Amino acid sequence: MPKIARTIAHQAHVGELALIRSIRQRAPNVSLGQVRLGIGDDCALLRPRPGEELAVTTDLSIAGRHFTLATHPPESIGHRAIARGLSDLAAMGARPVAAFVSLAVPQELSSEWTNRFYDGLLRLAQAHKTTLAGGDLSEAPIPLADIVLVGSVPAGRALLRSGARPGQILYVTGALGGSAAGLAKLAEESDSDRKVSNRRRSSNADAALALHLYPQPRIAQGLWLRKKGIATAAIDLSDGLSTDLTHLCEESRVAAEIDAQLLPIHPSATLQQALSGGEDYELLFTAPELTRVPRSIAGVPVTQIGRILRRGGKRATVTLKTAQGARPLQPTGWQHFV
């Protein structure tokens, strides 16, 4: 948007002017005609197709809270910042259209850092045909970004959190806990000598690290579920299964039970990480019992993990069944960096 060009012009800072030109050049309009006007005016203009609604989501990423400069490469910080919004679109079954990136960085952070942040962000944006249509750029004592994603979905057809009904079956895409295991690995490595640690790393740990640094939002899976009319409700697993399932139950006014033995736990992860790790960006969805749900969607496995129950008076919202019996599962997710 306007602001990018505008703010920078004021700073009359040749390096940043060059940076902003390069961002603008690297932000081609890839949204198939829905972005009518991008960076350069007071607002961007989006023209939805007839009969479509726009889904809008916004996510803050703040140093020390969602990432740290010491452990996360700038490409990963950019990738993760936009992955969060893309994953929200996936959970609605929406097709990405445009992204708006408000970035604030300390003066001492090099323009190379900012360039690499945009490298990671734009690579994922373009993989999902998302046009960088605007944003803002400022200075702040710590780096932070607020990313807005806009997607399109046929009117009245978005997958909501509120559609789950008692008797329906709970499914997740992919594996759980990988991101949390990768984060634990990352913290461990930053405490010790990186090279030694690298040598010790297993291929599972490598895979978990990649899941943490470069999570893949399930856009294709969300679109498929919405188009086929299979899912009755959906939410993305950004905050951990225990927390996000609680949210889904609250919005649908139901309860749920999940079976620990069914959970597709990432090979590097513990049960606890699978339940509350967060940032897996998989989809959790419900479907009627008699609906045939495939074992994989667009190459990503789909696993049945439990079912939706009627909401009881004193019953816990979410129950975890294990070999030792059943226990209430509290929402314990969202373990970022604090």
Q: Does residue number 46 form part of the binding site for a second copy (CB under 8 A)? A: yes
**Positions in 57-76 near a second copy (CB under 8 A):** 57-60, 62, 64-65
Structure tokens at 71: 């452990």
Nearest Cα neighbor of 39 from 52, 50, 51, 27 is 27
Q: Does residue number 43 form part of the binding site for a second copy (CB under 8 A)? A: yes
**Positions in 221-260 near a second copy (CB under 8 A):** 234-236, 239, 243, 246-247, 251
Task: Please enumerate in sequence order all residues whose Cβ is within 8 A of that of 275, keeping only pairs 6 or more positions apart, or say none.
Answer: 176, 177, 240, 241, 242, 263, 320, 329, 332, 333
Of 30, 54, 210, 300, the residue at the interface with a second copy (CB under 8 A) is 54
Q: Does residue number 55 form part of the binding site for a second copy (CB under 8 A)? A: yes
Tell me, rounded to whole angstroms, the distance of Cα 65 from its chain centroid: 16
Q: Determine the interface stretch with a second copy among 153-161, 167-175, 183-191, 197-205 (rule: CB under 8 A).
A: 153-161
Q: Does residue number 9 form part of the binding site for a second copy (CB under 8 A)? A: yes
Four-residue CA torsion sign, 138, 121, 183, 224: positive
Instruction: Work out how close the CB of 39 gets to a second copy at its nearest, in angstroms, rounded to a whole number.
Output: 11
Instruction: Work out how close the CB of 92 gets to a second copy at its nearest, in angstroms, rounded to a whole number.
Output: 5
The secondary structure element, H or E, covering residue 98 is: strand 95-105
Instruction: Work out how close the CB of 61 gets to a second copy at its nearest, in angstroms, rounded to a whole number.
Output: 9
Give dist(CA 240, CA 329) in Å, integer.
12
Q: Does residue number 16 form part of the binding site for a second copy (CB under 8 A)? A: no
Q: Does residue number 133 form part of the binding site for a second copy (CB under 8 A)? A: yes
DSSP for 61-97, please give it.
EEBTTTB-TTTS-HHHHHHHHHHHHHHHHHHHTPEEE
Instruction: Work out how close the CB of 154 gets to a second copy at its nearest, in angstroms, rounded to a whole number.
Output: 11
Q: Does residue number 13 form part of the binding site for a second copy (CB under 8 A)? A: no
Smaller CB separation from a second copy, 122 or 281: 281
Smaller CB separation from a second copy, 92 or 205: 92
Residue with tokens 């019992």: 289
Q: Determine the interface stretch with a second copy among 124-132, 136-144, 261-269, 298-306 (rule: CB under 8 A).
A: 136-144
Smaller CB separation from a second copy, 251 or 259: 251
**Positions in 296-325 near a second copy (CB under 8 A):** none
In the chain, the largest separation of any two C-alpha atoms, in whole Å, equals 66
Of 1, 19, 82, 122, the residue at the interface with a second copy (CB under 8 A) is 1
Give dist(CA 74, CA 270) in Å, integer.
28
C-beta separation of 128 from 149 below 8 A: no
Smaller CB separation from a second copy, 161 or 266: 161
Of 120, 215, 264, 331, the residue at the interface with a second copy (CB under 8 A) is 331
Instruction: Work out how close the CB of 133 gets to a second copy at its nearest, in angstroms, rounded to a whole number.
Output: 7
Four-residue CA torsion sign, 70, 72, 78, 82: negative
Total binding residues toward a second copy, as defined by CB under 8 A: 73
